[in-house]
Amino acid sequence: MESSPSTSSGLPRASSRGKAVVLLSGGLDSYTAAAIARRDGFAVYALTVNYGQRHAHEIEAARGVAAALGVVRHVELDVDLSAFGGSSLTSDLPVPKDRPISTTDIPSTYVPARNTVFLALALGWAEVLGATDIFIGVNALDYSGYPDCRPEYIAEFERLASLATAKGVQGSAFRIHAPLQMLTKAEIIRAGVELGLDYGLTRSCYDPDLHGRPCGRCDSCTLRAAGFAQAGVADPILGR
């Protein structure tokens, strides 16, 4: 499914740096990464993957975010990773609640090879578009133990991109941009506020109720709440 371009909110329309594929989940990190791509002069092509996640309300959020950003094109792609299971986000396993956040323990919300799958899809679309820039909103400081959010991983995928594509073999260098990688959640939120982003459009909860309301207790809710508190900003989603 695709959405049509629309007027961006507080962001420049310039595309002096060409096209970029941005992985857009509907969460605040990917929203901020996409806004940074726009700010830096890229024409944004947004890719949202419906991978069978239990927090599917984020797909609707991604549509709202894409519209707010005025992306050139928004593609929603169905790749059902729930067929494999192996994660509490793609199966009936319980989502962890009220646990201390660790950057060493890999939680059950880790979806095996998810970012590799997502980046591979983004790479394929980028090659078709003639783009060499891909944006992803991974974060190494608040990443909750996910191995595919580490800087080492992003660097190696960037190398793979140039080895595994026709454009790479022909001399084009792909760049995987992870502009939030070394920022805390509070720093990400402050950056988004400076860009005029409406975080009320986003959804972060891993285990929302049937109406999409956040549980307030999963890792993602905990990190979001702490980030807004440390940034000194009210989370607009709590008033909606």
Of the two residues 99 and 33, the one the predictor is more confident about is 33
pLDDT at 138: 94
Measured torsion, CA atoms of residues 180, 27, 195, 65, in degrees rounded to the nearest 10:
140
pLDDT at 14: 47
Stretch 9-22: mean pLDDT: 69
CA distance 32 to 185: 11
pLDDT at 142: 64
DSSP 71-138: -SEEEEEE--GGGT--STTSSSSPPPBS----SSS--TT--TTHHHHHHHHHHHHHHHHT--EEE---
The pTM (predicted TM-score) of the whole model is 0.91
Residue-range domains of the chain with CATH: 14-234 (3.40.50.620)
Q: Is the pLDDT of residue 94 over 50?
A: yes
Cα angle, residue 6 at apex, residues 136 and 134 outer, rounded to 5°: 20
pLDDT at 240: 54
Stretch 168-175: mean pLDDT: 92
pLDDT at 105: 81
Stretch 214-225: mean pLDDT: 93
